[in-house]
Structure 1
């Protein structure tokens, strides 16, 4: 690498760091002081979403030619961490949206890109990825939603989907469906569905243990007629490869999001331990509390290092299936443990709703379940190990 190239690389890194730092300052200044009020409010935090749109966050993965920021993956993951550290609901407004944006940017026709990407970039349309069905969770090959081709090139969509993040308020849904076949195994494709399309219905908003401001919906498609231009990329049978190509990025983003929550839990526990006194001294002076704090900090540092390794592997080789699954698995399990240990440090106060640890403890389990359950991550890791020809192939030496 020449001196000029090194200088340009360093300048680009500084510019990207400035973007992440800008998000960090926005969260600390505009969001963190309001989290308690935001959680107590019944209404949807549209002002928060608008502020995120004003920062360009809905266009993080969209090319500049279509109005986006086109950020490197490492910076996208870092921003998700900063948002989660401020208020854990914020990354949920973005994650599935960015998956939709990436799908269209990578696989959409030129007409689809021109129509939808600028609206996704400025946040005027928010996206939802519509995969899961009541009888098909992690095994997407078993979906039953059908897109029946018509003689004029259009499609008729019928089926039901569930656990769809942002399903109620999204302005654009990308739906996984299959063509009918005698054996029930017709080719699977992705379709772009606008919510005003006749026959599309949000049948229920699911009540959850946490993330009450993030709508999780059940959707029904009843003879929804779609034009030929609704087929993502214009070619049938590409749906599963298109979705699977998004998994690494989604899992890395989920790991960063979980680490943001874990970082906040540790920060709260450490400050409480310094301020709270018992037996004539701050409880931070008691060995039992110190053990919890040391474990939390060590686990957080280890999870961050593994995520960094996964990002480096992805940047170097273009694929990081095993490391992405490792990072998602370890970061989300670590977050579960750290929020539990933080509750122990706070004692009874950790269990009452006026302290944020109660909320973080309730919300941590969702990261273990989304972007592929952690059981799925373990299977991916093991399969990569088995098919490899040695530690060198795995990148472990």
Structure 2
């Protein structure tokens, strides 16, 4: 419908390279990764070789120094084809940002080049059993002992957790009772004594993306692993990055909807019922028209938010609205796609069926959509 004007020729060339990488090195293995519940470790190294990791990080720290549209291209191309296994966005656009924005020079020079090359996989550990979206109620704590922190507690639903080498952990470092002022972000290396990972969780969808529970049994790390100049800044650090993190979900959601639409259109053009293609029936054409229109609306909203990201002007309210609307959109479009596929829409060898079980999580992670409504309502 409306042309997209965000991307330049550099982004377009990058998109072609990303498509080749996904077609040749991701999708042929994705079904096997779904069985083992995580991608192969060497894929991270290969992505690093191609410059697909930490793209917005400056060159002095191993990145390419690109804008966030390069990250957007990679996220879109993964979502168009249902490549939900590689957790590149969490690694490059969340974990690396925390280290770059809040880390010391030593932390940045040590970890960011390794993350950009794929030598180190990053994860962020926020959610705990029983806390959900309520970060101020977490129980994991870091207690000072000499020059170290002793970390105890557990985290759940951690993307990249099973293969992670470095984890940004949200912990309590104070007991003021105010919640947000007690939180800090601390780096924990996977090899620390007392740190352990459970097997990948058995999820309904997104089976190739490793998601697991992490345990911290009196894990000792130096106080120099604190992100930021002082304790108690964790909540404000999280809030500073959350708008972009929620827009990431919106980017993924619209692209998922587009991929589902494309697969459904192709199927209805090819599949014949009562002597004619399914797309020849008015109901099918009207449903496809509705899907196409809603996706176009969602894409324009997301693209406008991306323009604000490039200017540093994206608000929490706009990001919450984008995440809310597009994650709901993805589920609607995918559900219609399943219906138009008929019985085959329920078969996992068809992309639309995989999208059906993969897309539902978008309304939950990054803060549930009920939380998004609450954030938007605060501005009324």
- What is the TM-score when the length of structure 1 is the normalising length? 0.88
Give the Cα–Cα distance (whole angstroms) in 1 for the partners of residues 219 and 241 of structure 2: 26
- Number of residue pairs aligned between Structure 1 and Structure 2: 374
**Pick from 156, 170, 183: which aligns with 1:176?**
170
**Pick from 137, 156, 160: which aligns with 1:162?**
156
- Give secondary structure in 1 for the equivalent of 2:288: helix
Q: Report the alpha carbon displacement of residue 53 of structure 1 after superposing the two structures with TM.
A: 2.3
1:80–1:256 CA contact under 8 A, matched in 2: yes
Show structure 2 runs of 5+ residues with no match. Answer: none
Range that drifts further, 42-51 or 160-169: 42-51
Find out whether 1:346 has 2:341 as its counterpart. yes
Give the Cα–Cα distance (whole angstroms) in 2 for the partners of residues 192 and 250 of structure 1: 19
- Give secondary structure in 2 for the equivalent of 1:208: coil
Look up the match of 2:227.
232
**Pick from 168, 193, 196: which aligns with 2:191?**
196
Give the Cα–Cα distance (whole angstroms) in 1 for the partners of residues 200 and 117 of structure 2: 26
Range that drifts further, 224-233 or 122-131: 224-233
In 2 relative to 1, CA 48–224 (structure 1 residues): closer, same or farther, beyond 3 Å? closer
Range that drifts further, 349-358 or 181-190: 181-190
Give the Cα–Cα distance (whole angstroms) in 2 for the partners of residues 202 and 47 of structure 1: 20
Give the Cα–Cα distance (whole angstroms) in 2 for the partners of residues 202 and 32 of structure 1: 27
2:121–2:166 CA contact under 8 A, matched in 1: yes
**Pick from 24, 34, 37: which aligns with 2:19?**
24
Find out whether 1:66 has 2:72 as its counterpart. no
Look up the match of 2:325.
330
Give the Cα–Cα distance (whole angstroms) in 2 for the partners of residues 189 and 235 of structure 1: 8
Range that drifts further, 29-38 or 133-142: 29-38
Find out whether 1:281 has 2:276 as its counterpart. yes
Give the Cα–Cα distance (whole angstroms) in 1 for the partners of residues 193 and 76 of structure 2: 38
In 2 relative to 1, CA 199–42 (structure 1 residues): closer, same or farther, beyond 3 Å? closer
Show structure 1 runs of 5+ residues with no match. Answer: 1-9, 387-397
1:154–1:228 CA contact under 8 A, matched in 2: yes
**Pick from 153, 171, 188: which aligns with 2:147?**
153
Q: Report the alpha carbon displacement of residue 322 of structure 1 after superposing the two structures with TM.
A: 1.9
Structure 1 segment 1-40 matched on structure 2, within 5 A: 13-32=8-27, 35=30, 39=34
2:71–2:93 CA contact under 8 A, matched in 1: no
In 2 relative to 1, CA 137–16 (structure 1 residues): closer, same or farther, beyond 3 Å? same
- Give secondary structure in 1 for the equivalent of 2:142: strand
Give the Cα–Cα distance (whole angstroms) in 1 for the partners of residues 36 and 219 of structure 2: 35
Asked which structure has the greater CA Rg, the reply is 1
Look up the match of 1:361.
356
Q: Report the alpha carbon displacement of residue 247 of structure 1 after superposing the two structures with TM.
A: 0.8
1:31–1:87 CA contact under 8 A, matched in 2: no
Find out whether 1:254 has 2:249 as its counterpart. yes
Q: Report the alpha carbon displacement of residue 187 of structure 1 after superposing the two structures with TM.
A: 2.0
Give the Cα–Cα distance (whole angstroms) in 2 for the partners of residues 43 and 180 of structure 1: 36
2:363–2:369 CA contact under 8 A, matched in 1: yes
Structure 1 segment 95-134 matched on structure 2, within 5 A: 95-134=90-129
- What is the TM-score when the length of structure 2 is the normalising length? 0.91
